[in-house]
Chains A and B, each alone.
Chain A
Amino acid sequence: MYEFVSGPLVWIAFIVFIGGSLYRIYNMLSSSKKEKVVFPHMSLKHSVASLIHWTIPFNNQYMRQRPIFTIISFAFHICLIIAPIFLLAHVILWDESWNMSWLTIPDAVTDGMTIMVIIGCIFFLYRRLTDPVVQNVTDSSDYLLLAITALPFITGFIAYHQLFAYKAILIIHILAGEIMLIAIPFTRLSHMLFFVFTRAYFGSEQGHVKNSKDW
């Protein structure tokens, strides 16, 4: 089982993730051409300006209005991306299989980051359950996406601390990671891919076409 999930399934997951992502982006770009104004309205300068502006915390009205949300959501997204990439155990796996390695972050830090991701998931779950606006637009898919996101981190945390059933948890952890990778291109987790594009377009339209700003 372990061999399967850590061998061929990893391949499949990464192929689906990368291939699927490329396909989704290609599909989005080509279907955007149907609307003749989209590309002529784009501007690199305003796209970059928008992206930089929106990736700095507290740089917008709503971020300042909602400090807790801002801190948690920034921390969540940063940790979500950084922790798995620079986790020592993951880099070792890459090194063993591909002879590739890169900088790692001390385990204590990645551990903290994992906790941060889990806190983020709990926070988002709490919002989904309590904020009337969010509640009103929440359906099962939103909970499922939250679960897909949380699971690799929860299991990773348990596995790292070897709290119980290490082998089984490890397999579930790998599986959960793979599910998440596969889900990214084909669910609304694809906001990870499209963020750059939607921001770039709105930034361009507000800045380049409408001579204003999108923040």
Chain B
Amino acid sequence: MKPTIVKRDLVVDTALDQCAAKLTPEQIEKVVNEVIDNETGGRLQTYVNTCIHCGLCAEACQWYLSHDKDVSYAPVTKVKDTIWVLLEKKGKVDGAFIKRCSEIAHTECNVCRRCGMYCPFGIDIAYMMLVVRRICAKLEMVPLYLQDTVHSHAATMNQMWVKPDEWIDTLQWQEEEGQGYVPSARLPLEKEGAEIMYSVIGPEPKFLAQLLGNITVIMKVAGLDWTMPATAGWDNSNMAMYSGDFEIMARVERLHHETAQRLKVKKIVMGECGHAFRGAEYDGPTWMGWMKPPIPIVHAISFYYDLIKSGRIKIAKKAEGPITVQDPCNVVRNAGLGTQLRYIMNAVCEEFVDVTPNGRHNYCCNAGGGVINVGPPWKKKRVQGNRVKAEQMKRTGAHTIVTPCHNCHSGIEDIVDYYKLGMHVKFFSDILIEAMEIPEHLKPKEE
């Protein structure tokens, strides 16, 4: 088979560059075969042997479509250029090859699983890319910023190097912010036996603390019995799942679920994040040997759906003008929340404009799957790799895009910025907090 013609702008990623130079062929061969022999099975072999090289997966990929159908971005090409060779050569490849594997798997694929839906055989290409990532991770061939994030998970059990005191302090500060809207609002810490443990991702206390204030108000208005942990285990995000460091992934997920068990809650409600749901609901539990999370986990979309549908939260004033939405792959395509998302969008927006394609067929934001976490060196490529998203969003004519996922939020913001779409990007809770009715008795007393 002829090698793929690959044209890329040079990207300097010191971690990949330095590590590629250090790798020995023996090391590579050992790790490749270890992973293939011990960590994969009939599934991978069947996928590789069943692929009839039809190329139908190409149309599924936003990277391929956005690059004017550049073959080197087609999902099947990504498989060809990585796992086929690793299997065929039984790991006898060099550092440069592994570096290219990492570039493909970590920076050019969002493991969004859209291509799986385009394959007549249901071959899960994203799974194969995760196998490649696993090999890369064991060889320390992970892009700099992603690896740094994983180190943060490993050291602090959160994504952003947030120290234990900073976490609690931020919650106490945001409780006060929430009390600006609803004076009796409370952010209950360490309340054993509460109905709900609320968990968030590391960037919330670090950069988006107002979301914690938002939830304090929403919980009060809905009259719910909830708590947040004052210990590690509060962060539900998991970049180790995406780097391929599954031991750290499992440690983070285990702590998250055990924190909920320790607090004796009935369920975990999580903020607006897609990959975190995937890690907490699926990848983490699977590694731990749980069929499903030991304490059920509810994504913000379902949570708000229940609150609005049951009337626990009433909408006083719908958001004006055309507003559209981004379907986060990990909660829509891969968790079936598309219908609920549309229900809550219609409930809080005067004019909700849907996207095409939508629901589980929607394109990935291109930031997911750890791709935004590979950091600034790769940003241009990531944004250029999702022109179709910009075109899709532009077609809606909306002034605001709601993204119920942190990765989508940052990714779409970058796209809006780069393609000069002039649209706002908001979380659902940002819209909800403005639209919902705050009952008279909860409102601040007029001075």
Contact = CB atoms under 8 A, between A and B. Distances in A.
Interface of A: 27-38, 40, 50, 54, 60-62, 65-66, 69, 127, 131-139, 142, 188, 190-191, 194-195, 197-199, 201-203, 205-206, 209-215
24 contacts: A28-B42, A28-B46, A31-B41, A32-B42, A60-B118, A61-B361, A62-B56, A62-B59, A66-B56, A69-B56, A133-B64, A133-B71, A136-B71, A137-B80, A138-B53, A139-B1, A190-B50, A197-B46, A198-B123, A201-B43, A202-B124, A206-B116, A212-B332, A212-B360
Nearest to A62: B118
B156 interface: no
Contacts of B332: 212
Contact of B51 (A38, A66, A69, A188): A188
Interface in B29-53: 40-43, 45-47, 49-53
Given A132-B71, A133-B55, A210-B282, A33 B360 contact: no
B360 A198 contact: no
Contacts, number: 135
Given A133-B76, A188-B51, A201 B122 contact: yes
Interface stretch (B136-144, B333-341, B436-444): B333-341
Contact of B124 (A61, A191, A205): A205
B2 interface: yes
A22 B46 CA distance: 14
Nearest to A135: B71
Interface in B253-291: 282, 286, 289, 291
A31 B357 contact: no
B43 A32 contact: yes
Which of A36, A65, A136, A206 is the most central at the interface, judged by chain B CB atoms within 10 Å of its CB?
A136
Interface in B361-418: 361
A210 B278 CA distance: 9
Nearest to B56: A62
A127 B56 CA distance: 11
Contacts of B116: 202, 206, 214
Contacts of B58: 133
Interface residues of B, number: 49
A142 B54 CA distance: 10
Contact of A28 (B45, B59, B124): B45
A195 B50 contact: yes
A212 B114 CA distance: 12
A66 B56 CA distance: 10
Given A32-B42, A38-B43, A188-B51, A211 B56 contact: no
Interface SS of chain B: loop
Given A133-B58, A195-B120, 20 more contacts: A27-B42, A28-B45, A33-B41, A35-B40, A38-B43, A54-B122, A61-B118, A62-B60, A62-B118, A66-B56, A136-B71, A136-B80, A137-B55, A194-B49, A198-B46, A198-B122, A202-B123, A206-B116, A206-B334, A214-B117
A188 B52 contact: yes
A28 B50 CA distance: 11
- Across the A-B interface, the 7 shortest Cβ-Cβ residue pairs: A202-B122, A32-B42, A34-B41, A31-B42, A133-B55, A212-B336, A211-B336
B117 A61 contact: yes
Given A31-B41, A33-B41, A34-B42, A134 B121 contact: no
Interface SS of chain A: helix
A214 B77 CA distance: 22
Interface string B104-148: 000000000000111111111000000000000000000000000
A68 B258 CA distance: 53
B196 to A, nearest CB: 20
A195 B95 CA distance: 35
A205 B334 CA distance: 9
A137 B41 contact: no
Contact of A138 (B1, B41, B119): B1
Given A62-B60, A142-B53, A211-B336, A136 B42 contact: no
Given A137-B77, A210-B335, A213-B360, A198 B118 contact: no
Which of B119, B120, B123 is the most central at the interface, judged by chain A CB atoms within 10 Å of its CB?
B120
Given A134-B55, A136-B80, A32 B46 contact: yes
B41 A35 contact: yes
Interface string B346-369: 000000000001001100000000
A30 B42 CA distance: 7
B250 interface: no
Contacts of A213: 336, 360
Contacts of B119: 202
A188 B50 contact: yes
A212 B286 contact: no
B90 interface: no
B101 interface: no
B14 interface: no
A131 B51 CA distance: 17
Nearest to A38: B43
A62 B360 CA distance: 14
A60 B118 CA distance: 8
Nearest to B2: A136
Contacts of A138: 1, 53
B4 interface: yes
B74 interface: yes
Given A37-B286, A61-B118, A132-B69, A210 B336 contact: yes
Contacts of B360: 212-213
A154 B42 CA distance: 35
Nearest to B80: A137
A133 B120 CA distance: 16
